[in-house]
Amino acid sequence: MSASHDVDIDKHVRVYITVFVSLMALTIFTVWVGYRNLPIGQAVTVALLIASIKGGLVASYFMHLISERKLIYAVLVSTVALFAVLMLVPMLTVNDGTMVEHPGGVVHTVLPGHEGGHEGGAEGTPEAAPETAPAAAPESGAAPESAPAPAAEPAPGGAQPEPAHN
């Protein structure tokens, strides 16, 4: 190995150490923000922003993307585009106007052409909600066995009521 090659690798190593320290600092910051109990919108924005910075550091320096060939970028651009489509699918599903929230808090999908049927009858009519609730419960975060009545205090995600820290 030539001396200049070794110097080059030494530079790389220094960068790796710097990235490592940055990732640790960002991890601590993520946890600190997580415990601040920010409103969910802000919490999601901050958490994903920090995760993106961390991910960018790993991809750029540990995976050497910062100095990679064009073909790799082409593969990744196509992947990112398809990934974006994949993420948009749930958003479109949620915002297509078919999601109806019942008085019990249960979200239910009304399929086109079935508005007048069973699902249509449930749309906003309190008496229909108990009929649809059992079927819809597994789609929500609530567990079937721990959500006896919509009026009851909901267990977090249907999990055991008490925090399950180990």
Identify whether the C-beta of residue 127 lies closer than 8 Å to the C-beta of residue 105: no
Total residues binding other proteins (CB under 8 A):
73
Report the residue number, 72 or 111, with the smaller CB distance to other proteins: 72
Burial of 132 (C-beta count, 10 Å sphere; 0-12/13-18/19+): buried
Smallest gap, in angstroms, from Cβ of residue 135 to other proteins?
14
Site for other proteins in 29-48 (CB under 8 A): 30-31, 33-35, 37, 40, 43-44, 47-48
Q: Does 62 bind other proteins (CB under 8 A)?
A: yes
Q: Does 154 bind other proteins (CB under 8 A)?
A: yes
Binding mask of the shown chain, residues 105 to 144, with x at each position contacting other proteins by CB under 8 A: xxx-x----------------------------xxxxxx-
C-alpha to C-alpha distance for 16 and 34, rounded to whole angstroms: 27
Report the residue number, 51 or 135, with the smaller CB distance to other proteins: 51
Give the E-state strand segments of 6-120 in sequence order. Answer: 99-101, 107-109
Identify whether the C-beta of residue 123 lies closer than 8 Å to the C-beta of residue 100: yes
Nearest 10 degrees: CA dihedral of 159, 162, 165, 166? -100
Segment interacting with other proteins (CB under 8 A) among 96-104, 111-119, 121-129: 96-104
